[in-house]
A = this chain, B = another copy of it.
Amino acid sequence: MNRIAEQYLRQETLPMIFCPGCGDGTVLGAFLRAVDEMKISDQLALVGGIGCSGWMPVYVNADAIHTLHGRAIPVGIGLKVTRPERKVVVFTGDGDAIGIGGNHFIHAARRNVDLTVVMINNSIYGMTGGQMAPTTPSGATTQTSPYGNPEQPFDACRLAEAAGATYVARWTAGHPRQLVKAFKEAIDHPGFAFIEVVTQCPVQAGRYIKGGMDAPEFLADIRKSVVPVAQAERMTPEELAGKTRIGLLHRSQRPELTQQLAAIRGGEKR
């Protein structure tokens, strides 16, 4: 086990339940490195949803709460407003965040609450065994779309921005170094920060959507499907077709909820 993991993992909870080659572990590793660089493990309040991805906080040796499916964000808000200096980081899946939890997601973005929300987008419901997610590509077969997904997926980053998020970035499990940086930026960002991480899920998405790709193949496939924002700006719509932009997609400033609440408590009329 590497040094960072030795220091920051809650050893008695291991092994992690992630399948072999699951991107979640890589993302967690990047998060630990960001925590290490920021020296904030005492200030962390980690919140996990339900899903493979929701298990990530459980393995970190910091205060952590493993909540209900879709409800990580409101729990995170309760933690944040009771002690605003807390660094609340929410780990959630695509189903957890924008499937069942979609309403909490957009409302937290609207309120611009100072949370960092990390959404693992594996295009599927992993934990429950490979059913379609609101991120599953149109036409893809899964356990509940045997004839091809009749729906179209969300662009979670676009949704977050339209709802009011003030930091929006997308990376993949194949970009661990960029993820470390993004985690640091997001945690420091005073407002609702959203990081979507596109990951390989070899066991469910790999089997049902990707025709049996193993983890290295799947990750290679993901890397091929993305383009950095800067590069995307120089590309034609035709070149961009089917590509997903990665990088820092949006950053802005709007009043942040806990600060607004502090003002009210201070007797200021808003």
Contact = CB atoms under 8 A, between A and B. Distances in A.
Contacts of A220: none
A102 B102 CA distance: 8
A224 B138 CA distance: 43
A215 interface: no
Contacts of A148: 264, 269-270
Contact of A147 (B134, B159, B162, B270): B270
Contact of A270 (B103, B138, B263): B138
Interface in A129-178: 134, 138-139, 147-155, 158-159, 161-164
**Which DSSP category, helix, strand, loop or mixed, fits chain A's interface?**
loop
Interface stretch (A11-19, A194-202, A228-236, A252-260): A252-260
A66 interface: no
B103 A150 contact: no
B264 A147 contact: yes
Interface of A: 100-103, 106-107, 110-112, 134, 138-139, 147-155, 158-159, 161-164, 254-255, 257, 260-261, 263-264, 268-270
